[in-house]
Amino acid sequence: MGSPHRVGIVGLGVISGQYLATLEGVSGIRITAVADLDTARAEAAADRIDGCRALSVANLLADPEIDTVLNLTIPAAHAEIALAALAAGKNVYGEKPLAATLPDAQRIMAERGDAWVGGAPDTVLGTGIHTARAAVDEGLIGRPLSATATWVSAGHEAWHPHPDFYYREGGGPLLDMGPYYLTSLVHLLGPVVRVTGVSRRARDERTIATGPRAGEQIPVEVDTHVTGILEHASGAVSTVVFSFDAVRSEARPLEIHGEDASLTLPDPNMFDGDVALARRGAEWQTLPVSAGYADAGRGIGLIDIVRGGRGADGSVALHVLDIMSSLLESGRRGAPLDLVTTVARPALVPLTPREVWSREA
C-alpha cells in the first residue's frame, strides 16, 4: 500500500458532515487538516478526526502535508479558495457550483497546471442516475429524444435560519439545485450546444421564517424562477424548470424519453432510488440496480478521481456552469445562446459495492 491521499477541508458548514461520513471510512484517504473562519468550529472538527489539525485557511492552503483541498465554502468564495489552492500546487475538489461566475470557473480550469480539479455534484455517480444511464447506453429506450427536469419550492427562507446566500450572486434555484439535474442530463444525454432561457423574480425581498432572525427581511438579488430548453449535441432536447416561486409539484424530478420507451428517475440530489421504464403499451416497470457506486455519500466524486476516474471532473462542472450562465443570459437577451464549452460524456461507472469502493484499489 502506498501513502494515503491527504485531504484538507476548507469550510465546515452543515454539508461537511456528509463528506466526513464518507471520507473517514475510506482506505487510502486521510483528512489531514481542517479550516474555517470560525476557529472554534475548526478545532471541534479536528478533535473528532484522528490525526487531524485545525489550521487557519491560509496555513492550510500552504501546508505541504496536503495533497487535495476540499473546498466547502459558500459559492462566492469558491474561486478564491480554489485558485489559492492551485497556486500552492494542490488539487481541488469543490462543492457546486465550480465558481459563482463562468469567467472565474474558466480561470480555475486554466490555472490547474499539473493538478486536477473536481467538483460536485457527485450524486450522479450513485446507483439511481447510473442505473438510468446504463439503460440509455444499453438501448432500452431506443434513440433518446427528450428529457424533462423539474425542481420547485417556495424558497429556502421557509426553513433555513440564514438563507441570505441563496438570494445573492452564485445562488438562486438554478445555481443551487440546477447542478444536480443538469449534471445528470449531461451524463445521460451528453453535452449541450445551445440553450434558450427565461427567468423571473417574484419579489425583491424574502422574510426569514425560522431561527433567531425570524421575521427579518433579506434582499433578493437573483432571479428565482428559471425555465429553459437545452439542445444536446446528440440531438436530444431537454426542458428544465427551477423555482423558488412555487409551492409544490407532482412532476417527476427527471424523465427521459426515447423512440421505444420512457424512463422516470429518482431525485438527483440523492445517490440512489428507483428507476422505472415504460415501453409502448406497457406499464411502468422498476429496473434492477445495474451501475454506479452503491451506498455512496458526498465525497464519492473525490474518491473516484483519486482512484483514476473522471465522473466528477471539473470539466463537467465547468460545462454545467456554462449551461446555467447561458440560460440566465439568454433570458436577459431574449434569444438562444450557443455554449462556449463542451465536455466528453463521462464513462459509465460499473456497479461497485461499498465494500469495494471503500477500500484502497
Domain holding 209: CATH number? 3.30.360.10
Q: Is residue 48 part of a domain?
A: yes
Nearest alpha-carbon partner for 182 in 97, 285, 287: 97
pLDDT band at 359 (very low <50, low <70, confident <90, very high): confident
**186 and 150 share one domain:** yes
Q: What is the pTM assigned to this prediction?
A: 0.95
Q: Phi, psi at residue 195, to the nearest 5°? A: -135, 155
What are the tens digits of pLDDT across the range 295-324?
Answer: 999 999 999 999 999 999 999 999 999 999
Q: Which string of b and e fits 72-94 if b means at least 16 CB within 10 Å?
A: bbbbbbbbebbbbbbeeebbbbb
Q: Is residue 297 part of a domain?
A: no
Q: Is residue 351 part of a domain?
A: no
Distance CA 181, CA 191 (A): 13
Q: Are 342 and 191 in contact (CB under 8 A)?
A: yes
Residue in the structure block whose three cell numbers are 490547474: 112
Distance CA 55, CA 117 (A): 22
Q: Is residue 308 part of a domain?
A: no
**45 and 188 share one domain:** no
Q: Is residue 327 part of a domain?
A: yes
**81 and 200 share one domain:** no
Question: pLDDT at residue 360 above 70?
Answer: no
Residue ranges of the alpha helices (H) in the chain? 16-23, 39-48, 57-62, 78-87, 102-110, 127-137, 172-189, 300-306, 314-333, 354-357
Does 170 or 142 have the greater pLDDT score? 142
What are the tens digits of pLDDT across the range 174-201?
Answer: 999 999 999 999 999 999 999 999 999 9
Q: What is the mean pLDDT of residues 29-36?
A: 97
**Residue 169 confidence (pLDDT):** 82
What are the tens digits of pLDDT across the range 62-109?
Answer: 999 999 999 999 888 999 999 999 999 999 999 999 998 999 999 999
Q: Is residue 356 part of a domain?
A: no
What are the tens digits of pLDDT across the range 248-281?
Answer: 999 999 999 999 999 999 999 999 999 999 999 9
Residue 59: CATH number of its domain = 3.40.50.720
Question: pLDDT at residue 239 above 80?
Answer: yes
The structural domain count of the chain equals 2
- Which DSSP letter does residue 9 get? E
**Domain end marker among 86, 119, 152:** 119
**Residue 294 confidence (pLDDT):** 98
**228 and 181 share one domain:** yes
**142 and 246 share one domain:** yes
**49 and 84 share one domain:** yes
Q: Is residue 91 part of a domain?
A: yes
What are the tens digits of pLDDT across the range 194-226?
Answer: 999 999 999 999 999 999 999 999 999 999 999
- Domain boundaries, position 332: 128-291+315-338
pLDDT band at 234 (very low <50, low <70, confident <90, very high): very high
**Residue 171 confidence (pLDDT):** 86
> Does residue 360 sit in helix, strand or coil?
coil
**231 and 98 share one domain:** no
**155 and 192 share one domain:** yes
**181 and 285 share one domain:** yes
What are the tens digits of pLDDT across the range 14-27?
Answer: 899 999 999 998 99
**115 and 133 share one domain:** no
- CB within 8 A of 138, min separation 6: which ones? none
**139 and 273 share one domain:** yes
**Residue 170 confidence (pLDDT):** 76
Q: Is residue 304 part of a domain?
A: no
**245 and 99 share one domain:** no
pLDDT averaged over the chain? Answer: 96
Q: What is the mean pLDDT of residues 45-52?
A: 95
